[in-house]
Amino acid sequence: MLMQAMLIVAMFGAEPDPRTIPAGERIAYVNRLADRHKGRDAAKYHQQAAERFVPLHQLYWPYVEAGDLTKVELYQHVERNLHALWLAARWRPDEQRILEEWVKANSETLQALAQAYRRKRCYQPVDEGTRSFVDIEFFLEGMYYAQLQLIVAATAALHGEWEAAYTGNLCVHRLATHAYQQPLDVHQLMAMTIERLAQEQLRWFLRCHPPADWVTLKEQLASGDDMRCPPELLGVVGRLYLYDTIEAWHEWATNAAKHPYLSDMADAQYGAASAQVDAGLPPDVSLPKSRYQSVEELRAALQQSSVEHDWAVALEAQKIHDRWDALPFHEAWRTRDDMAKEYCEKARSAPALEALGCSTWALTNSRGLAVSTELERTATFTIIALLQHRQEEGRFPAALSDLVPKYLREVPIDSFSGQPLPYRLTKGDQDFILYSIGQDQKDDQGVAKDPMGREGDVVYWPPAEVKVERD
């Protein structure tokens, strides 16, 4: 990472002051900064996939128009339960037909994605014409692409076509690596979500039918790691995006027509409950508390402040977050609420930062999600090492340290405790359990109490089989 940081400085000089880059040139600057490697072959195929993609709701829309509610409800039921197929849960024949219909309708999308997956490099420039950093192009449907690929992989597994199943799953990993190469936080969050889904399915595959070639599997899983967007570059782009947003809010305060999407945000945050619904938020969503009681109060506060003032406050607030971010994760996680309170108290003195909303989730969950995703990945490589150890030596090791250095470089650490991942043999040493103590930082001896991981442990092995919820 140090070399990457030095390269960025060598190419573009010291980290830029966002105030020195005119608004009309920021997107172009980010595109130049982010395009670190030659070649954008994968991006054009992702774009083709986006253009040809058929959402599931398009398949049942004719039944909506015909008033066939029975069919509509069946399609909607499948749509709600798509996550269950990520772990290859069994489906009824009518549900399976819907899934096959959806995959068939997206044959061209899958073909375009297959072309993209053959290429390691992927950078999709942000559209300079929009003057908006919130421009995710083909990754807008990234989750749906992941669903399609996971369905293809799971279907192959259910038919006993394990080579195709593993290949399909690894395609989802490649989709995540392509998203990791983009410089915006929204890409990184999408990449992490996609990777976690792929890891879950892969562990189910490992349980049902271990691969014949462990070495190739590990190499393919690690492929593309060297192409990820460096943290230093993400930091540069993040600060540029924040300054751009602060400036946009102040422009909105005097000319709302110039930034209509901010009007939608303001209405959702400070307007009536109906405005939340119009903005796509459920009416019962509890938004972070604000010091402003209405859109008019927010506008007046912005007009009384300045971009320079709000940016100075943002830099001071960032120092608070940076101090917390420098702590070892298991220590930082215990103090996240205190940090968030201090950060928010500082940030709320800047109207533009207040308009963005301030909550513990927004401040800490990005790091928490990144750590949890890395743990998922670490757990999968650990499980592969354990299964390979049994295959080659006839038994599971007594401790994870026995895997070092032949199968793992080092003992895997549970980031939520700072100690090795909990591991013990079960079923007369014929199986094992591997888990993290999770967000509550309490060891429940491998008992998962919450599917979201907020309480209880996060169990990686044995993988749980998700059941399809039926009406």
Q: Provide the 8-state DSSP code for 36.
A: -
Look at residue 143 in the predicted model and tell me its pLDDT. 85
Does 367 reside within a domain? no
* Pair (75, 199) in one structural domain: yes
pLDDT at 266: 87
223, two tokens: 């492929």
Q: Are the C-beta atoms of residues 57 and 79 closer than 8 Å to each other?
A: yes
pLDDT value of residue 1: 35
Tell me, yes or no, whether 52 and 114 share the same domain: yes
> Given 229, 261, 277, which residue is the final one in a domain?
229
Sheet holding 423-426, edge to edge: 423-426, 431-436, 458-461
Which residues face 448 on adjacent strands? 456
Same domain, residue pair 274 and 132:
no
Query: Same domain, yes or no, for 176 and 93?
Result: yes
Pairing of strands 431-436, 458-461: antiparallel
**Do both 327 and 419 map to the same domain?**
no
277 phi and psi angles, rounded to 5 deg: -65, -45
pTM for the full predicted model: 0.88
Tell the residue number behind the tokens 């038994």, with chain if given: 395
pLDDT for res 184: 85
- For residue 5, tell me if it sits in a domain: no
**DSSP β-bridge partners for residue 332:** none
Cβ atoms within 10 Å of 369's Cβ, excluding its own: 15
Residues 89 and 188 in one domain: yes
Same domain, 142 and 270: no
Domain that holds residue 270: 236-358
Residue partners of 307: CB distance under 8 A and separation at least 6: 246, 247, 250, 352
| 321 lies in the same domain as 396 | no
Tens digits of per-residue pLDDT, 223-270?
Answer: 999 999 998 898 898 899 899 999 999 999 999 998 888 888 888 777
Where does a domain end: 330, 358, 386?
358
Tokens, residue 422: 């909990």
Give the pLDDT score at 88. Answer: 53
Q: Please report the pLDDT score of residue 102 as a whole number.
A: 95
What's residue 303's pLDDT? 96
Domain-embedded: residue 213: yes
Domain count of the fold of the chain: 3
Sign of CA dihedral 258, 262, 264, 270: negative
**Residue 172: C-alpha distances to residues 18, 87, 165, 357, 431 (Å):** 35, 14, 11, 33, 28
Within a domain: residue 76? yes
Of the three residues 358, 390, 409, the one that is the final residue of a domain is: 358
Domain assignment present for residue 335? The answer is yes
pLDDT tens track of the chain, all 471 residues? 333 333 333 334 457 889 999 888 888 888 888 887 666 689 889 889 988 999 999 999 999 999 999 999 999 988 888 776 655 556 788 988 999 999 999 999 999 999 999 998 888 877 777 666 655 555 567 888 999 999 999 989 888 999 999 999 999 999 999 999 988 888 898 999 999 999 999 999 999 999 989 999 999 999 999 999 998 898 898 899 899 999 999 999 999 998 888 888 888 777 654 444 444 544 444 445 567 888 999 999 999 999 999 999 999 999 999 999 999 999 999 999 899 889 989 998 999 998 887 665 566 778 999 999 999 999 999 999 999 999 999 999 999 999 999 999 999 999 999 999 999 999 999 999 999 999 999 999 999 887 667 789 999 999 876 665 655
Q: pLDDT by residue (tens digit) across 123-161? A: 887 777 766 665 555 556 788 899 999 999 998 988 899
- Residues 278, 197: one domain? no
The residue type at 102:
W
User: In sequence order, what DSSP letters do the residues of 270-307 get, joined into one string?
Assistant: HS-HHHHHHTT--TT--PPP-S-SSHHHHHHHHHHS-H
Paired tokens of 467 = 């059941």
The CA distance from 220 to 236, in Å, is 30
The reply to whether 372 falls in a domain is no
C-alpha 291 chain-centroid distance:
30
Collapsing DSSP states into helix, strand and coil, what is residue 458?
strand
Residue 471 lies in a domain: no
Identify the pLDDT of residue 82.
78
Q: Can you give the pLDDT at residue 393?
A: 96
Q: Dig out the tokens for 170 from the structure.
A: 């690894």
- In a domain? residue 176: yes
| List of residues 6+ apart from 234 with CB closer than 8 A | 183, 185, 188
Query: Do both 246 and 393 map to the same domain?
Result: no
β-bridge partners, 414: 419
Q: Are residues 126 and 191 in the same domain?
A: yes
Residues 439 and 433: beta-carbon distance below 8 Å = no
Q: Which are the contacts of 47, defined by CB distance < 8 A and separation ≥ 6?
A: 124, 137, 138
Q: Is the domain of 42 the same as that of 69?
A: yes
